[in-house]
C-alpha cells in the first residue's frame, strides 16, 4: 500500500510519519538485537589452549595465513555427522613431533564470500618417522588412518588432532567433525566417510 501524505491534513500526516518512524526504529533495534545474539560465543578453553588461540588469532584473515605458508586445499569437507570446512595446510610445519603453538592445518568455514577461522588441526604423517602415538593438550591423536580421498591420497597414512578453538562444537572440543560447520553446495564440497585405520609400522 502506498500512502499519499499530500492529501492528508498536515497534523495527521506528521503524526503518521512519527508512527512510521517509531515502527522503523523498533524493527531496526530488533534486527540489531538478533544480530548480536546470533554472534557465536567462543568455546571455553584451558589456559594452554587460550595461548594457542591468541597466537592463531591473526589467521582470522586468511590472506595472513597464506603469507605465512598456509595454502588452501580448495575443497570444503563434510561428513554425515558434521563438517571440517576448508583446510589450509602449511607443509613446512610437518614433522614427527607436533608443536602445540604451530598447527600444520588451519580450518575455515565458508560464510558468504568470506572464510571464517573455526579451528586448527595437528597432522603427523607416518612417513615422518614418528615413533610414538602423538599427544597434545592431554589428548591422544586420532589414527593412524588412511588419507582422506579425494583431496588426500589414501596411502598418506597419518595421525591427526582437531581442536575447535574459534567455533564451539556441541560434539566436543577435540571431536573430529563439528555438526555446526556447513559447506556450500558447490563442486568443491566433498562428502567423505571416516578413513580406515591402519597399523603403525
State residue 155's pLDDT score. 95
Q: In 10 A of CB 20, how many CB atoms?
A: 11
- Cα separation, 128 vs 97, whole angstroms: 9
Residues sharing a CB contact under 8 Å with residue 90, sequence separation 6 or more, in sequence order:
68, 69, 70, 71, 104, 105
Read off the DSSP letter of residue 167. Answer: S
- What's CA 119's distance to the chain center, in Å? 5
- Residue owning grid cell 575443497: 75
Asked if residues 148 and 192 have their Cβ atoms less than 8 Å apart, the reply is yes
pLDDT of the chain along its 201 residues, tens only? 444 544 555 555 445 445 544 433 333 333 333 333 345 677 899 999 999 999 999 999 999 999 999 999 999 999 999 999 999 999 999 999 999 999 999 999 999 999 999 999 999 999 999 999 999 999 999 999 999 988 999 999 999 999 999 999 999 999 999 999 999 999 989 887 777 888 886
CA angle 40, 46, 52 (to 5 degrees): 75
Looking at residue 195, its pLDDT comes to 75
Instruction: Please tell me the distance from the alpha carbon of residue 162 to that of residue 82, in angstroms, as a whole number.
Output: 13
DSSP bridge pairs for 107: 87, 119
Please give, one letter per residue, the 3-state secondary structure of 114-160: EEEEEEEEEEEEHHHCCCCCCEECCEECEEEECCCCCCCCCCCCEEE
Specify the pLDDT at position 175. 98
Q: Measuring CA to CA, which residue among 63, 79, 69, 190 is closest to residue 117? A: 63
Residue 196, φ and ψ in degrees, nearest 5: -70, 145
At 119 the three-state DSSP class reads: strand
The residues spanned by each domain of the chain are: 5-38, 47-191
For residue 33, what pLDDT is reported?
Answer: 38
Amino acid at each position: 500500500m502506498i500512502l499519499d501524505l499530500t492529501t492528508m491534513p498536515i497534523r495527521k500526516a506528521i503524526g503518521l510519519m512519527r508512527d512510521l518512524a517509531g515502527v522503523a526504529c523498533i524493527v531496526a533495534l530488533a534486527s540489531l538485537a538478533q544480530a548480536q545474539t546470533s554472534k557465536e560465543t567462543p568455546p571455553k578453553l584451558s589456559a594452554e589452549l587460550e595461548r594457542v588461540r591468541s597466537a592463531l588469532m591473526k589467521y582470522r584473515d586468511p590472506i595472513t595465513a597464506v603469507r605465512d605458508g598456509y595454502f588452501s586445499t580448495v575443497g570444503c569437507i563434510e561428513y554425515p555427522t558434521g563438517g571440517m570446512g576448508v583446510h589450509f595446510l602449511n607443509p613446512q610445519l610437518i614433522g614427527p613431533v607436533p608443536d602445540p603453538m604451530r598447527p600444520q592445518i588451519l580450518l575455515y568455514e565458508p560464510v558468504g564470500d568470506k572464510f571464517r577461522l573455526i579451528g586448527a588441526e595437528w597432522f603427523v604423517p607416518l612417513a615422518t618417522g614418528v615413533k610414538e602415538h602423538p599427544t597434545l593438550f592431554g589428548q591422544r591423536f586420532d589414527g593412524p588412518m588412511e588419507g582422506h580421498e579425494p583431496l588426500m591420497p589414501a596411502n598418506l597414512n597419518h595421525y591427526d588432532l582437531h581442536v575447535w578453538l574459534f567455533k564451539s562444537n556441541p560434539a566436543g572440543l577435540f571431536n573430529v567433525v563439528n555438526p555446526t560447520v556447513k559447506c556450500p553446495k558447490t563442486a568443491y564440497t566433498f562428502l567423505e566417510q571416516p578413513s580406515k585405520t591402519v597399523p603403525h609400522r
